[in-house]
């Protein structure tokens, strides 16, 4: 949100200053030529923000869950997902991990995020963390990945629909043996 404001501000200031320089017939003077640079910089910053927003997301595909960022992406098979929940992002950064909160994440800290528990050994988890990249790697701790998304409940619902049925999980109170008195 903040970057969009600055991209718009650069664009507006560049257009206004260029308009004033054209009105004063000093478009190519050294004092006004700098303001013309604001227009392409504002456009480039706006385009970068849009590309970043489109590339940083979670997609539920038939072959697996695709977690993408600007530079990398990782596809996690549904068979390797233990559980998925929607919890506030603050729960991921407990105690000593609170210093790992990036300044850009502080605006999302109290909003719900998707928590994925991954099954696998140390090497598989390290490979997933490496594929996620530097910034998403902060959101992975041990076997849990926390992903901030706009609608966490809808994403959890979609992922749960693709998870295979697990046998041997809690069957509820009716399936337990009665306690002897």
Write out pLDDT tens, residues 114-154. 888 888 888 888 888 887 765 555 677 788 888 888 888 88
More confident residue, 175 or 35: 35
Distance from the Cα of residue 113 to its chain's centroid: 9
H-helix or E-strand spanning residue 70: none
Is pLDDT at 173 greater than 60 in this prediction?
A: no
More confident residue, 165 or 79: 79
For the beta sheet containing 73-76, the strands, ordered from the edge strand earlier in sequence to the opposite edge, are 57-60, 65-68, 73-76
Percent of the chain whose predicted confidence (pLDDT) is above 90: 0
């Amino acid at each position: 949100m903040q970057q969009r404001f600055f991209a718009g501000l650069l664009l507006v200031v560049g257009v206004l200053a260029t308009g004033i320089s054209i009105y004063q017939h000093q478009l190519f003077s050294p004092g006004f030529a700098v303001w013309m640079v604001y227009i392409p910089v504002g456009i480039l910053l706006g385009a970068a923000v849009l590309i970043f927003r489109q590339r940083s997301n979670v997609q539920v595909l038939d072959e697996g869950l695709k977690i993408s960022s600007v530079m990398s992406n990782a596809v996690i098979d549904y068979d390797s997902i233990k559980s998925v929940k929607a919890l506030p992002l603050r729960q991921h950064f407990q105690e000593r991990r609170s210093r790992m909160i990036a300044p850009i994440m502080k605006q999302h800290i109290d909003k719900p995020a998707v928590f994925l528990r991954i099954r696998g050994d140390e090497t598989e988890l390290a490979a997933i963390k490496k594929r996620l990249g530097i910034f998403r790697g902060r959101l992975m701790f041990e076997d849990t990945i926390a992903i901030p998304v706009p609608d966490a409940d809808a994403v959890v619902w979609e992922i749960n629909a693709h998870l295979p049925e697990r046998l041997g999980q809690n069957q509820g109170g009716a399936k337990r043996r009665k306690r002897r008195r």
